[in-house]
Structure 1
Amino acid sequence: MLGSLLTRCLIMSFGYAYPAFECYKIVEKNRVEIEELRFWCQYWIIVAALTVLERLGDVFVAWLPMYGEAKVAIFIYLWYPKTRGSGYIYKTLLRPYVSKHETDIDRKILEMRARAWDLTVFYWQNFAQYGQTAFFQFLNYMAAQSSKMTKATAEPVNVQSNGSAASTKPNGASKDD
């Protein structure tokens, strides 16, 4: 438990916070060197890809011993000044794969975007139809309650000779019968 917490803190520090601060310093320089900017862009591209792959495959590899520690080591390897592993991984693994499949990836993204829009419209229409039905049911309920209230107050009241009031039922029988 404590090891997992410590590993998460290290990943957040060395995998995200420190590189983000380094990126900030590069972007805020008066004169940005393109190689430094390219390096950090490659780093964040690889981190994003690793995060997606981790979410998909975490069930299969998270149980391995030293998994968290290996993640920390990979993050440090990616940005450490002597190794600068993100440049190597980007040039040897990621760039060849993505450039080979770029058109397929673009097509899949457009298909997923269209499906997401269609799904959004479908659920919005269902939600609107359900809301309309519920609203009309509510109005019918309120109208029914209103008519019950007006019937109860509209019952004629007869004053009897002894001074007591009695309501008359529709069939003409008095309340006392």
Structure 2
Amino acid sequence: MLGYMLNRLLVLLLAYLYPAYECFKSIEKNKPDVEQLRFWCQYWIIIAAMTVWDPFGDALIGWLPMYSETKLVICVYLWYPKTQGTKYIYESFLKPYISKHEPEIDRTLSEFKTRAGDSAALYFQRVLAYAQTRSFDLLQVLMSQSIQRPPPQEPQTKPDIKAAAATSSAGKKSS
């Protein structure tokens, strides 16, 4: 377990954090070197492809000994200047494959964007309709409570004992 956690930490540091910092430095130079920027763009394309492949690779060959360590070594191989791993992997594998399938990829992405936009619009409309319905229901409940509220009763006053006694004694004298 400790080995896995240490390897994962090293992958995060050496495959993501360090290259991200180097990419930042390349971008923020006063006059960025185009070749350096090209290198880092190619690196991130490869890392993205590896990240997409990772769940499948883990499921299929993750049981092999040193699999995680091999991924770490590949990541260092990619950015280490003397090996030119990024250039080799990009030019030999990714560029030919993506170039060959670029029209299909573009069409699929376009369809996905359209479907995602349509789904988001439909979902937003449903949420809005639900919110309107619930707001209207709440307004109806509030209105019905204000209409059905009984009128306030006037407080009952205690009858004046002297006046009641005078009225009753006047009634007895007249009879």
| Cα distance in 1 for residues equivalent to 2:85 and 2:9 | 22
Give the letter aligned to residue 46 of structure 2: I
| Cα distance in 2 for residues equivalent to 1:145 and 1:2 | 64
Offset at 1:54?
1.7
Q: How does 1:1-177 map to 2 (within 5 A)?
A: 1-55=1-55, 57-149=57-149, 151=150, 153=151
| Cα distance in 2 for residues equivalent to 1:57 and 1:160 | 90
Specify the alignment match of 1:172 in structure 2.
none
Larger relative helix fraction: 2
Offset at 1:45?
1.0
Cα 1:58–1:144 change in 2 (3 A) is: farther
Aligned length: 161
Q: 3-state SS of the aligned residue for 2:129?
A: helix
**Structure 2 portions without partners, runs of 5+:** 162-175
Q: 3-state SS of the aligned residue for 1:83?
A: coil
| Cα distance in 2 for residues equivalent to 1:160 and 1:28 | 88
| Cα distance in 2 for residues equivalent to 1:30 and 1:127 | 48
Offset at 1:159?
8.4
Q: TM-score, normalised by structure 2?
A: 0.79
Stretch deviating more after TM superposition (48-57 or 123-132): 48-57
Runs of 4 or more consecutive aligned structure 1 residues displaced over 6 Å after TM superposition = 155-163
Q: TM-score, normalised by structure 1?
A: 0.78
Cα 1:139–1:78 change in 2 (3 A) is: same
Offset at 1:160?
10
| Cα distance in 2 for residues equivalent to 1:124 and 1:24 | 37
Q: 3-state SS of the aligned residue for 1:65?
A: coil
Stretch deviating more after TM superposition (26-35 or 94-103): 26-35
Q: Which structure's CA Rg is the greater one? A: 2
Cα 1:158–1:124 change in 2 (3 A) is: same
Offset at 1:13?
1.0
* Structure with greater contact order relative to length (CA < 8 Å, sep ≥ 6): 2
Query: Kindly, what percent of the aligned residue pairs are identical?
Result: 47
Cα 1:39–1:155 change in 2 (3 A) is: same
Offset at 1:31?
4.3
**Structure 1 portions without partners, runs of 5+:** 164-177
Give the letter aligned to residue 128 of structure 1: L
Stretch deviating more after TM superposition (27-36 or 45-54): 27-36
Offset at 1:140?
1.2
Q: 3-state SS of the aligned residue for 2:17?
A: helix
Cα 1:142–1:56 change in 2 (3 A) is: farther
Cα 1:73–1:128 change in 2 (3 A) is: same
| Cα distance in 2 for residues equivalent to 1:148 and 1:156 | 18
